[in-house]
A and B are shown apart, each in its own frame.
Chain A
Amino acid sequence: MTLQESGTLIEVEHLSMRFGGLVAVDDVSFAARPREITAIIGPNGAGKTTVFNCITGFYKPTAGRLTLRGEQEFLLERMLGHEIGQKAKVARTFQNIRLFPGMTVLENLLVAQHNKLMRASGMSIFGLLGLKRFRDAERAAIDKARGWLERIRLVVDADRPAGELPYGAQRRLEIARAMCTDPRLLCLDEPAAGLNPRESAELNELLVSIRDRDGVGVLLIEHDMSVVMRISDHVVVLDYGRKIADGPPDAVRNDPAVIRAYLGTAVDGPDA
């Protein structure tokens, strides 16, 4: 298989998630490769965000296996919520933006580097003493944050509370914050929601640069087809919790099952 040849970043096998009697995700399997943008699309309620929540540890899947591959393998379904970010290096953003609104833009990016800084601060003891080792680590963290602020064009706003930024800037900041955790897999839940066409085009550029320049695999839930079709390398389509198509964007676009899911079934149509 081609997937094996080029390597897999995350492999989702037979993932199921039930809430009581409701089956939100039903036996979904797919894989995403490193240095690629994989989009998960589907109508409302198809179970896309549920898949995300399983991958990032916010839900414990009812069944199935989630393997993050690399130098070290992680079985995500067995890890605690925060360990997935800390050890497996999976970062995510949220459908409704979740910044730290009262903290400044720069502080948001520093909180994202918490684990690295915490080690450098020697459980706060070196930090309290103001040792050089910690000061250097902090300067490096600020430099890294500045680099990201330059990429998302928010350097001038660095010392403003994040909650004061306009909506589009908050979206970009949330992505930058996730990237500051040095992730191997970045999961974005509808990053283009609420953006105007210009902002949406900028977002495309940012995501492509994250893939090509930072070499991070991106998993993307998106409704905006201009984003999905233009930048994704691989598309997975869900409907009613099941996977109905999987492949390169062009193939998925013309897949009759996908058209049916989005446009409905014609009783006397050619595929009925």
Chain B
Amino acid sequence: MAGRLPALLKDAALTALVAAALGLFIVGFKTRDIGQGLFFDYQLVDLAIAVAVIFFGRLGLQFASMGLKWPSFALGTVLGAVGVSPIQMPSTFLHWFVVIAGVLIILRTIWPWANTAIATVRHSERGKAFGRRGAKWFGAVLLVAAVAMPFAPFADQKTMDLAVLILTYVMLGWGLNIVVGLAGLLDLGYVAFYAVGAYAYALLSTQYGLGFWAVLPLAGMFAASFGLLLGFPVLRLRGDYLAIVTMGFGEIIRLVLLNWVDLSNGPAGIGGIPGPTFFGAVFAETAPTGRQTFAEMMNIPFSSNQRLIYLYYIILLLALITNFFTQRIRRLPVGRAWEALREDETACKALGINPTNTKLTAFAVGAMFAGFAGSFFAAKQRFISPESFSFIESAIILSIVVLGGMGSQIGVVLAAVLLIGLPEWFRDLGAYRMIVFGLAMVLIMAFRPRGLIAHREPSVRLHPVRAGP
């Protein structure tokens, strides 16, 4: 070891140098606009700490990869201890950064051992049985947790807002999963249907006074018919070409909403959209004439949280309906035809399956769920404008589906929590949170190239799985 130490130190120093060079401009300076002009903030202490952590981190990882367990373990522990210690650091994030570095080194140290242990357990009979039962229970536990969440002590307004946002993306991910994961049609314009649903509710409620629950099915139908509209011209296209056209479709919808001022009020958007009601009761401190508030109906004191909790349960219900529908339809002939179409369109045709109808139903059904989600979004925000439906939304939803593992329902949930939740938790970091977003994506693709959950459960089995001994 002593002989290799200079080389290792050199390597770590080099890594630190690269990090310093990159970080100098990203972390080292910060421009600040304070009226009289643009000023620089220098954050060189932050940079120095980060570079030092990267130096020791690299060293620790090298030790670990060479099998030098104790040095790397010690280094990891020291870094972790420094992170949690009350030493003065410029920001809390730096504390986190140091802790994460320590944890990563320790993980890397025990990884080879843990990996073999996991593999052994997984291939044993009991491990297999446990895995199957675990998969079954995991969903149930998650569901119970989701239902109980609003009453948890940590469920303040910020957390609930985030939960509603994540659930919206989970629902969109599940909807897009039908189109991309099952039918294999790469759709980059999914947000268009979300926009159709949102504007359907916004216009029908503000112009014609229709309520949320009446518009919900209509919004789904509108979005589904737009799905068909998109489906027809792209029937012959596959892969990249399909992706480009669907992306164009998404932009067309956004641009129409932006420019058709008579219909959509253009960039100014539509405001004053009523929120969803609970059997006619509104969620407000005082009810408009002829209505009652939820608090009056239930004889409980008013709290602004009630509305948020109600919204949470609505989106949870909508998402669960999407999930239930998808699980069910996957086991039906049309669902199998979607998957067959993804696998081989030519073979489908030879078997007498009508590819046109099959593709159109996939587009329409996927779009319908985006429409539901869209009208929920409008009811939640109470204000919508074309800005909310830009291409980046489509990209995020698609990322959730791909990173979650195409076709995997639980994978979508995990990916949505990671991709939507992480950047929100790291909101203190300001612009850097998008780096976290990117980092999460890169890490998932590096370690799980087929998505977080790549396992495909057959839609039907001839030999039922034995529960194990």
Binding site for B on A (CB under 8 A): 56-58, 81-87, 91-92, 94, 98-104, 106-107, 110-115, 117-118, 121, 124, 127-128, 138, 142, 145-146, 149, 155-156, 158-159, 161, 177-178, 181
How far is it, in angstroms, between the C-alpha of A162 and the C-alpha of B349 when the chains are bound? 18
Distance (whole angstroms) from the CB of A74 to the closest CB of chain B: 13
Question: Which among A113, A114, A146 has the highest number of chain B CB atoms within 10 Å?
Answer: A114
Assess whether A102 is in contact with B343, with CB atoms less than 8 Å apart: yes
Stretch at the interface among B5-13, B86-94, B327-335, B371-379: B327-335
Chain B residues within an 8 Å CB radius of A114: 333, 336-337, 340, 351-353
> Chain A: which residue is nearest B352 at the CB level?
A85
Say what secondary structure dominates the interface of chain B: helix
Given contacts A98-B347, A102-B456, A111-B340, contact A82 B462 (CB under 8 A): no
Which of these, B334, B344, B355, contacts A99 with CB under 8 Å?
A: B344
Given contacts A115-B353, A159-B463, contact A94 B332 (CB under 8 A): no
19 contacts between A and B (CB under 8 A): A57-B349, A82-B352, A82-B354, A82-B355, A85-B349, A91-B351, A99-B344, A100-B344, A103-B343, A103-B458, A106-B460, A107-B339, A111-B348, A114-B340, A114-B351, A114-B352, A118-B334, A118-B337, A155-B462
Chain A residues within an 8 Å CB radius of B334: 118, 121, 124, 127
Assess whether B458 is in contact with A159, with CB atoms less than 8 Å apart: yes
Assess whether B343 is in contact with A94, with CB atoms less than 8 Å apart: no
B350 at the interface (CB under 8 A from A): yes
Distance (whole angstroms) from the CB of A169 to the closest CB of chain B: 15
Assess whether A127 is in contact with B333, with CB atoms less than 8 Å apart: yes
Assess whether A146 is in contact with B329, with CB atoms less than 8 Å apart: no
Distance (whole angstroms) from the CB of B402 to the closest CB of chain A: 16
Chain B residues within an 8 Å CB radius of A124: 329, 332-334
> Chain B: which residue is nearest A89 at the CB level?
B352
Chain B residues within an 8 Å CB radius of A103: 336, 339-340, 343, 458
B459 at the interface (CB under 8 A from A): yes
Assess whether A82 is in contact with B349, with CB atoms less than 8 Å apart: yes
How far is it, in angstroms, between the C-alpha of A228 and the C-alpha of B355 when the chains are bound? 34
How far is it, in angstroms, between the C-alpha of A9 and the C-alpha of B388 when the chains are bound? 61
Which of these, B343, B351, B458, contacts A85 with CB under 8 Å?
A: B351
Assess whether B347 is in contact with A94, with CB atoms less than 8 Å apart: yes
B157 at the interface (CB under 8 A from A): no
B303 at the interface (CB under 8 A from A): no
B346 at the interface (CB under 8 A from A): yes
How far is it, in angstroms, between the C-alpha of A92 and the C-alpha of B340 when the chains are bound? 16
> Chain B: which residue is nearest A119 at the CB level?
B333
Which of these, B336, B354, B463, contacts A86 with CB under 8 Å?
A: B354
Assess whether A128 is in contact with B332, with CB atoms less than 8 Å apart: yes
How far is it, in angstroms, between the C-alpha of A13 and the C-alpha of B346 when the chains are bound? 26
Chain B residues within an 8 Å CB radius of A142: 460, 462
B461 at the interface (CB under 8 A from A): yes
Assess whether B352 is in contact with A115, with CB atoms less than 8 Å apart: yes
Given A58-B350, A103-B336, A128-B328, 19 more A-B residue pairs with CB atoms under 8 Å apart are A84-B352, A85-B353, A86-B352, A99-B343, A99-B344, A104-B460, A106-B461, A107-B336, A111-B336, A111-B337, A111-B340, A114-B333, A118-B334, A124-B332, A127-B332, A127-B333, A142-B460, A159-B461, A161-B456
Chain B residues within an 8 Å CB radius of A92: 350
> Chain A: which residue is nearest B334 at the CB level?
A124
Assess whether A118 is in contact with B349, with CB atoms less than 8 Å apart: no
Given contacts A142-B462, A159-B463, contact A81 B349 (CB under 8 A): yes
How far is it, in angstroms, between the C-alpha of A103 and the C-alpha of B340 when the chains are bound? 8
Assess whether B344 is in contact with A56, with CB atoms less than 8 Å apart: no
Which of these, A112, A128, A159, contacts B351 with CB under 8 Å?
A: A112
Chain A residues within an 8 Å CB radius of B343: 99-103
> Chain B: which residue is nearest A183 at the CB level?
B352
Which of these, B329, B332, B352, B458, contacts A106 with CB under 8 Å?
A: B458
Given contacts A114-B337, A155-B462, A159-B458, contact A181 B351 (CB under 8 A): yes
Distance (whole angstroms) from the CB of B154 to the closest CB of chain A: 38
How far is it, in angstroms, between the C-alpha of A82 and the C-alpha of B329 when the chains are bound? 22
Assess whether A146 is in contact with B351, with CB atoms less than 8 Å apart: no
Distance (whole angstroms) from the CB of A128 to the closest CB of chain B: 6
> Chain A: which residue is nearest B343 at the CB level?
A100
Chain B residues within an 8 Å CB radius of A138: 460
Distance (whole angstroms) from the CB of A218 to the closest CB of chain B: 16
Distance (whole angstroms) from the CB of A81 to the closest CB of chain B: 5
Chain A residues within an 8 Å CB radius of B340: 100, 103, 111, 114
Question: Which among B328, B333, B458, B462 has the highest number of chain A CB atoms within 10 Å?
Answer: B333
How far is it, in angstroms, between the C-alpha of A156 and the C-alpha of B462 when the chains are bound? 9
How far is it, in angstroms, between the C-alpha of A56 and the C-alpha of B346 when the chains are bound? 11
Q: Which 6 A-B pairs have the closest CB atoms?
A: A85-B352, A86-B352, A158-B462, A100-B343, A117-B333, A98-B347
